[in-house]
Structure formats: C-alpha cells, structure tokens
Chains A and B, each alone.
Chain A
Amino acid sequence: MRRDLSAATLVGFTLLATVPAYDRVFSTPSWRGPAVAAALLALVLASLIRRLHRGAWVAGLVSVLGFVAAAPWLLGQNARPVLPRLSVLADLWQLLAVGRTELAETPAPTLPLAGLMLLVIGGWWLVAHVAHELSVRWRRPGFALAVLAVLWAAPLAVPMSDQTGWGRTLPFLAMACLTLLVTGSEDLPDETRVPVPASGVALGEAAIAIGLTMPGLLPGYAEPAWVQLGASSSPRGYQPIVDVSQRLGLPEERDVLRVRASQRTYLRLAGLESFDGDVWRLGPPGSGSYRPDPASLFAADGPLPPEQQAANTESVQVDIEVLELDNIYVPVPYQPVEVFGPIRDDMIWSTEGGFLATWDTVEGEVDGEPRVGIREGVEYRVQAARPAPTFDELLTTTVDETDRERFTSLPRDYPELGAQAEQVYEAAGATTTVERALALQDWFVGPDGDFTYDLDVPALRGEDALTDFVLEDRVGYCEYFATAMAVMLRQTGIPARVATGFLPGRVTSEADPSAGIEFTEYTVSTADAHAWVEVLFPGAGWVTFEPTPRDDNSHILPTENDLTPIENVAERREREAEESEDDPAADPTIPDAPDLPEADFQDPSATGDQAADEGSGSEGADPSAWLLIVAVVAVMVAALLLARRRRDDRGSDRTPQRRVLDAQRDLLTTAARHGVGRSAHETTVELVERWRFERRIDERGVVVAVAAQAAAFGGTVDTSEAAEVERLVAELEQMLRDSVSSQDRLLAPLRLPLGHVQRWGRTIVERLVRWRTDG
C-alpha cells in the first residue's frame, strides 16, 4: 500500500515536472490549472480503483467515463461536472476536431484555446492514468517514465525560434532520475536472461546516448534538429486574408450571416495595417506570415480589452449565426466588449488589428479554392462599444510619433495621390485631421470626385494601378476606394488603415417590440462584403469613414454632424425626402439599450437562479440526470462501504485459522485476477508447486500452503504463524503480480471464460463422438 502510494506520488511529481515545458508553448499560465487538475483527478481515480482491487479494464473504463464527465468542467464550459450525455460527447468530439485544427494552425506561443486545452487535458489525463497503471499496477516505472517522456517532449517538439529549452527540461530530467533511483532496481534487466554488462553502466550509457541524440530531435532545445521528423509544415497562422473582391465576384450571391442587431452596424473582420503596394495585410509591414505579438492576444472568454481607448461609445448588441463563412475571423461590430456563446472559448481577441479569430473551423473550398471557414451554424452574441465621438472631440486629438509612423508607412511614395489629396483638402477648406478625412471621403462618394462603383474591373495590381484609378479611370469597388483613401491619408500624414468586413445586410425581419421581438433581423450575403477606412484618433478610437459610393446605397456614410450614423445612405435619403415633406422634427426611434432577446444559447454570466428560472429550456438543469447521478453515487458509496465492511469484518477478533484462510483467499483472488489462478482440481499445495515450477514464487509459497491446509483441515495454527502467513501472502501476491507480463495481465479476464468455453466445446465434441459410435 505504501509502495503504491509512493509510486503514484512519484508519477504525480513527474507530471508536474513537465509544466515548464508546456509553459513554453502557452502565452499565459492559465492552462496549468485544468491540466494539473486533470492529471491529479486521473491519478486519484486510478489509485482508488487500485485500492478497491479492481482490474485494469475496470480502471480504464472508469477513467474514460471520468474524463468525459470531468472534461466540460475542466474546460470551464460547465460550472458542475455532469453525467456524460450524448450531447456532451458530441461537443467533445467537435471540440477535438477544433483542437486538431488549432494544433496545426496556431503559432506558438498561443493562448489556451478550448480545443487545444481539450487536447492538453486529454493528454495529461491519459498519460497520468497509463503512467499510474504501469508504475503502480504493473511495477514498471521505467515504462511509465517513457510515457511521461512523451508528454514532456510534446511541447518541446513545437518549433519556436525564440528561447532555449534547456532550463525547461531540467525538472523533468531530475524527476526521471529520482524515479529511476527509487524504483530502478526492478527495471534493470535480469542478468540471467539478457547478457548485459553491469546494469548501472548499461543504464548510464543508454542515458548518455539518449541525451546526445534527443536534443537534436526536439526543436525545443533551440538546437537544429539532427533528424527532421515529417515535413516541416509551419502553421498557417493568422494571415489567410480576406479577399473582398473574390467574395464580391462570386457568380452566385450566398448568404453568409444571419444577424439580429440592436442597430444597424458594419460587421468588421479585421483592420489591415500594412500595405505592400497591392494588398493590405494584418500586422506590421514586411512580415509575410504574420504572428501576432503574444502580448496583444487575449482569450475571448471574458471582457475584451479595447484596441484603442474610446471616450464616447455607443452600445451595440448583435446575435450572429454563421451560415457560411470562409475565413477564421469572426465578424463583429467594432469594437467588441465581450462575446457570449460556447464558441467564445475558442476565440482569440487581438488588440493588434482589432480582430477576433477562431479555429472552430471546417475545411472547405470556395469556387475550387481550399479555404478554412468558421463552422456553419455557430451562434454567438457580441456586446460592442462603437466609438461615437463628436466632431468637436476629434478636433483636439493628437497622434504620438510612434503611431503616426506606424500607420502612415507606405511601400513607396505616391506624390500624385498626395497632391490630389492636398487639392481636395484645400477645396474643402479642411485643416484638421477629421475635416480632411471627411473631405476626402466626401470627394470619393460625392459628385466632385465623379467616381463610379463597378465590380467589373481588373484587380488593383501593378505599379500605377492605384494612381490610374484615382486620377483617371475612377471606376472600381470598395477595395479600390478604401485603398485609395487610406493611401492618400497616409501620404498626407494621417494615420489610417483599411478594415474589411460586411455591410449590415438586408432586413429580413423587422423588430416588433409588441410581439416580443426586440431586434431587427438582417441577412448578410457575399454581396455585402466590404472594405472601408479607419482613421486613428487617440482617445476616441479608430473612427470609420466610408469612401465607397455603393450603387445600392447600402453603405453608412459618416457626416460632420453624425460621425456614427445608424441609417444607411438609402434610408437617410428616404428620411430626408420625407422630412422635407412632413414634420421635420420627426426622428426615427430606435430601440436603445434593448433587453436581452431570447437566445438559443445561455449567457454564461447569468446566475444560477436565472438559469433555474429558465427551466427546461436550459441545458444542465435536467433533474432526471441529477437524480441518476445521486443514485449512482449512492450505489458506489454503498458498494465501497460494503467492500470495506467485508475487509473490516476480518478485523479484530478473528481466529488464527480464519486469518490464515482469509490470507489464502486473498492470494487465490489475486492469482485468479492475474490469470494464474487455481484450477478447481488443484489443492493449495499443488498450486504452489506449480507456481514454483513456473518460477513465479519461491519456497515461501510452500510455507503458506502448508499453514493454509493446517488451518483449513483441522490442524493447529497459532497467532504468530497467522501473522507470518499474512506477511508472506503479501509478498507472494507481489511476486505473482511481477511474474505476469502486462499482456497476460490484460488478457487474464478473458482467459477464464475462454477456458470454460474450450472445455464445454471439448465435452460436446466427445459426447457427439460417443453418441455416433454408440448409435
């Protein structure tokens, strides 16, 4: 028992020694809690089963069930551990696929996304269980170390350029040495069977050999790998950039989102910071594959830090259902404050570019091109605070030099565009940043610029394409306009960037507060794909400007009076037309600060009372499941108590005879469980002789057998003999366990029934033969 405990403790500490290795690939330490909890739970569960003298199969089954029950809780998806239900299994399965995508696509160090975390806690759980079984049940701590080494090596195998991994490997190596020292003697090869030199020397040589080659295999050491395992596929990361033109150019318009929003709003995917002369990209210029600074990444399972502080904001709330979306960026109103819904565990919020990304995706293709898209049917709710500065407020803002330099950088000089911009500013009398931005926007959309919106133009590629567009052709679509305006702003020293996303979409179901429908439902299609310009006003946030004169007037145009309008151009014109006819005071009423609508998912921040109030509609509140849990727990406790009772009954006032017989029974039970049990016709003495012949035990078995027979068949046994027998039986049990190979041990539960079947078969055949010969 003490040996079991110390072996299990060693496994536990060795598991903990792998923590530094994992710290390397996670940008925050929040992964530790769930992983360590999973490992400890698995260890405790395995030890408990072992303590109850149940077999390896039972332990495995209980462990799997325990994991399914505990995983949602460990992942923080559920406040309480629940009975494994099919829905939970389906969710875990789904999450597993997400985890695999995340593993392949997310560059390290990464946030502990839900999918990755499932893989991590699953791995820790599995390794903890297997290591426990190997180390405690089968007394093979060496094999257990091998399994633990796999767990430890996994994060070190993640290629990262930055830091060395030597320091992170030391705790594990120390624990491994300790384990070998404490338990090693049993694992050394038996000299009678394998001709090896003195085992210590062999072990040392093997360790040196492994130590010399392994670092080469593990990039985590920051040494070049001697052997490249598999193709060096680097994660795709965050750069699969949204191609607006491709969406707009689709032969068939497709619905991509269904949105219920408190007000009309652009749904933004990302703010693109760097321009290479042709396209806009995420992240700073020059970086082909973009890896966000880990410091700018945040898990989306709580309030999101703002990308830019905004003094005045306007609350926007939307419920979004993804119908078909071919990228990993989550469309949200800018800038999101918090996301709700289960998918948020798998989202990352980046304060660089201000985007939310998820790897809860599916592989697919759009018009023959392979694409990774957000899983269809995903629903989430976003609470956003849209920067809503007043015109006067923006007049006073100043940009610091770092930001100005960063957001005004261009791959080359655009003197013609700069001159044109200055010309526009002059014509409008614009002197401040906001005035200039509005002037430029109005020049693009208004009659002065004489631009035409048309999708049927060649892509904006080539040295002079942009200049030609602005100065000569003046025909294009949103990408042209947004790019042109952003470049012109930058050329004239105004920090700007291009945002991509979707227009608010078409109204498919009007809000009807009398019927309880608070929100208007919009449907967003591929035709609503859009790009626009954002200008940085420190203290007020990134403010949206709209240079594209969409021919359907579905864009929202900021004006000097209302920098953040909620009606689109078509509506505004309609209203203005009506106002000029009717009462000019009439103002469209919009529902502000609406109540939470009925949603398919539950707000995770809702308190338990609210959840209970919602009754049968909510998950996890199924009373029958809880009754079942209580019943199962009760039965288990009762069984435990009974098992204890039976052992305790043996306790105090047993006769020496009884004690010896109980010891014999224990021995026979252990033997049977390991597949070397007594055949019915064997007496204890014969059984022990057989074991000795099979080299499982030594002559101590004879002492036990003789004493057991004396106790059983009328001989005399005194207390000291009984104590001796009990001690010997414990040793014999251990020898028996050690004598059975792991494979035989696994097959032991099958051997007995198989033997019965074999005997029955033989009897039947014999009877048939005799019946035939008699007949």
Chain B
Amino acid sequence: MSTTDRTERSGPGIARQDLDDVGRTLEAVGANIRRVIEGKANVVELALIALFAEGHLLVEDVPGVGKTMLAKALARSVDCSVARVQFTPDLLPSDVTGVTVYSPDTGTFDFRPGPVFANIVLGDEINRAGPKTQSALLESMEERTVTIDGVTHQLATPFMVIATQNPIELEGTFPLPEAQRDRFLMRIAIGYPHQDDELAILRTHGGADRLAELRPVTDAATVAHTIRTIRTVSVTEPVERYIVAMCRATRAHRDVELGASPRASVALLRASRTAAAVAGRDHVTPDDVKRLAPHVLPHRLILRPEAELAGHAAGEVIADILDGLPAPTE
C-alpha cells in the first residue's frame, strides 16, 4: 500500500486554523487546572484528553491526593452546568437521574432533572453507592439518555462523568462491576506529589481557597465544537491496525480472562486523536496510542485468578503487550 492511498483514506484532515483554535482552547483549560493542581501536568493532560474525547473519567487513588480537586477544577474551568453527587450506600437511582414529583400548584407531575443532566457530573466515591444506583448512572453514561416513567430525556452536550473511587477501603463498598468499568474512557491514578510540589501545596492551599478563585476559561459550546473538530484528526490504516492488534493481543494474553472489547478500540482511538490534538498534531502517531494504552485499557481487563494471585496487575499486562507488539514506522 502506498502513501498516496493512505493519505486519501485519512480524509480531508483538520485545517491548520482549526487545529490552532483547538490548541488554544486545550491550553487555556489545561493552564487553568494547573493553577490548583501542582506538579501533575501529566494527570491534568489525561483529564483534558478525557474531557475533549467526550469520555468519562474514573479517578482511582487513595484519599487526599486531589481526586476531587482535579474533578472540580476541570468542571470550573468550563462555563457549563456542573453537578456533584456524593455517593453513599443509601443513595437512590432517582437521586441521580431525577424524579417526577406532583406539583400541587399546577396539579401535574413535573420532572425534576437529577444531577446527571448537568454537563459535568462529579461522582464522588462512586463505589460507596449500591449497584442499583451505580447502574443508573453508568447506563446514562453510555446512552446519553435517561428514561424515567416512560419518558426519554436527552442529556446535555457535552456530557462527562468524573467519578472518583477509593481503592483501599473495601468494607461497605460495592466495587464497580467489571463490565461497567468499560464505560469509562480512562482510569487514572493521581499519585502522591513530589516533595517540592507538596511544599507548594502547603503554601497555596494553606491560605485562601484557590479553587474558589478559579474562573471558567471556555464554555460548553466551544468544548462541544472542539470535540467535533478533534474527531477529524486523521488516522492512517497502520495506526488503526496497531490499535486493533493491541486490543486483540489483550484477549490472547495468557494472564487475561476477559480482554478489551471493541469499545475499547474505539475509546483508544478517540483518546489518541485527542492526544494528537493536544500535542498540536493533525495526525495520530503510534506514540499517541502507546502513551494512552496504559490508561485506556487496563481497567477493562479481567485477569485470571492465578495471575492475580501471582501478583500481576492489568497494567503489567498492557506493558507486556506494548513491549511485544511491533509498532508501525510508516
């Protein structure tokens, strides 16, 4: 296959002007978030990628490293509706999706939209709610609609769920079902800050509430437009094949019980496109794919019990696959 064919296949591509606009938007949001999250440029960028790939983000880490701070900062940077749900064991599905209530004034049943109707939904400690409530949220995440009392309600655009989860507290929690974790575009960990950064955190957060000072730098319409633009970042067949090969490799891996689904391939491609745009490129390279795979794929895998007993983690499986899979050069 010659280059000409591939170039044709990749479509009209993205105009330089559009790419520059996208770059400005992304940079503005990124810079805004970095004002409150010290020294975690990589995490911030991943969060950005999730937002502009129109995907949902699962932040999983120990308490106190800034999960909620990241989610809030992201939400505040965009001038759009934001809802926050603190998940508890007694939270009901209707507390998330909304409820129809009788209005004595009008004598009708009115629909009161739940937090899920916001552009950005922060689900704190999502694993504390019961499976029923979790499913209510997770189903809305994929379909982007909510059906209540036979009426289907369209969710806002853009729509993004940022869920946080505490991996160490297991008592009284309901871990997300494996099949449903698939609906998050990425799972990221924040990790402890570097010594200097931690010092900076002491100084900034000891005083005024920096988060409250955060002002939006873009609006929902711009984000929606940017998302549409990013979808035109060109991808060549070798890169597509690389993505597919990677997902298929997870299914064949000896430590894996259940591999990545085709949805995972799509997610990986979408994330890679956004990563390319973040880097100011109009084309996806294998490096984008390789960089995002460790964040997009592991939470979708179910390892074999013996592999888990042997102490293997899904992240290691992906690293293993990346080390064995031939990368395209042209």
Contact = CB atoms under 8 A, between A and B. Distances in A.
Contacts of A665: 330
The 8 residue pairs across chains A and B that have the minimum distance between CB atoms: A714-B234, A680-B326, A712-B330, A714-B10, A714-B283, A715-B283, A709-B285, A683-B327
A681 interface: yes
Contacts of B283: 709-710, 713-715
Interface of A: 655, 657-658, 661, 664-665, 668, 678, 680-686, 708-716, 770
Interface stretch (B186-194, B213-221, B235-243): B235-243
In the complex, which of the residues A664, A708, A714 has the most CB atoms of chain B within 10 Å of its own CB atom?
A: A714
A681 B236 contact: no
Interface in B142-201: none
A28 to B, nearest CB: 61
Contacts of A683: 285-287, 290, 327-329
Contacts of B290: 683, 686
Which of B3, B4, B239, B284 counts the most chain A CB atoms within 10 A? B3
Contacts of B4: 655
B285 A681 contact: no
Given A661-B330, A715-B234, 17 more contacts: A664-B329, A681-B322, A681-B325, A683-B328, A685-B287, A686-B290, A711-B3, A711-B330, A712-B236, A712-B328, A713-B234, A714-B6, A714-B234, A714-B282, A715-B281, A715-B282, A715-B283
A351 B325 CA distance: 81
A710 B290 CA distance: 16
Contact of B235 (A681, A709, A714): A714
B3 A658 contact: yes
A299 to B, nearest CB: 62
Nearest to B6: A714
A678 B322 contact: no
Contacts of B7: 657, 714
Contacts of A657: 3, 7
Contacts of B329: 664, 668, 678, 683-684, 708, 712
Nearest to B7: A714
B311 interface: no
Contact of A681 (B239, B282, B284, B327): B327
Given A661-B3, A716-B282, A680 B238 contact: no
A711 B6 CA distance: 11
- On chain B, which size bracket covers the interface? 20 to 34
Interface in B292-327: 322-327
B287 A681 contact: no
Contact of B13 (A678, A684, A714): A714
Contact of B285 (A668, A685, A716, A770): A685
Contacts of A681: 322-327
A713 B327 contact: no
Nearest to B324: A681
A682 B327 CA distance: 6
B287 A712 contact: no
18 contacts: A657-B3, A657-B7, A664-B330, A681-B322, A681-B324, A683-B286, A683-B287, A683-B327, A683-B329, A708-B329, A709-B283, A709-B285, A712-B238, A714-B6, A714-B10, A714-B234, A714-B235, A715-B283
Nearest to A665: B330
Nearest to A685: B287
B102 to A, nearest CB: 57
B325 A713 contact: no
B231 to A, nearest CB: 14
B176 to A, nearest CB: 31
Contacts of B282: 714-716
A658 B287 CA distance: 21
Contact of A680 (B254, B284, B285, B327): B327
B7 to A, nearest CB: 6
A713 B290 CA distance: 15
Contacts of A712: 3, 236, 238, 285, 328-330
A709 B283 CA distance: 9
A713 B3 CA distance: 9
Contact of A713 (B285, B323, B324): B285
B282 to A, nearest CB: 6
A750 B227 CA distance: 50
Q: Most chain-A Cβ atoms within 10 A of its Cβ — which of B7, B290, B329?
A: B329
Most chain B CB neighbours (cut-off 10 Å) among A685, A686, A715: A715
A372 to B, nearest CB: 66
B322 A713 contact: no
Given A681-B327, A682-B327, A683-B327, A710 B281 contact: yes
A713 B284 contact: yes
Interface in B103-133: none
Nearest to B289: A683
Contacts of A655: 3-4
Residue among A668, A708, A716 with the highest chain B CB neighbour number at 10 A: A716
Contacts of A685: 285, 287
B6, B7, B236, B287 interface centre (most CB from chain A within 10 Å): B287
Contacts of B281: 710, 715
Contacts of A713: 234-236, 238-239, 283-286
A712 B241 CA distance: 14
A82 B9 CA distance: 57
A719 B183 CA distance: 44
Nearest to B290: A683
Nearest to A661: B330
A690 to B, nearest CB: 13
B181 to A, nearest CB: 27
B68 to A, nearest CB: 35
A713 B326 CA distance: 16
Contacts of B254: 770
B260 to A, nearest CB: 18
Contacts of B236: 712-714
Contacts of B13: 714
A665 B234 CA distance: 23
Which among B13, B287, B322, B330 has the highest number of chain A CB atoms within 10 Å? Answer: B330
A681 B320 CA distance: 11
A53 B55 CA distance: 50
B238 to A, nearest CB: 7
Which of B234, B283, B325, B326: most chain A CB closer than 10 A?
A: B283
A280 B13 CA distance: 103
A715 B4 CA distance: 12
Nearest to A660: B330
Nearest to B325: A681
Contacts of A710: 281, 283
Contacts of A680: 326-327
Contacts of A709: 283, 285-287
A335 B324 CA distance: 83
Interface in B1-59: 3-4, 6-7, 10, 13
A713 B330 CA distance: 7
A718 to B, nearest CB: 12
B179 to A, nearest CB: 28
Interface string B265-287: 00000000000000001111111
A558 B327 CA distance: 97
Contacts of B322: 681
A281 B324 CA distance: 83
A438 B321 CA distance: 107
A668 B330 CA distance: 12
Contacts of A668: 329
A279 to B, nearest CB: 84
Nearest to B9: A714
Nearest to B11: A714
A680 B329 CA distance: 9
A686 B6 CA distance: 23
B319 to A, nearest CB: 11
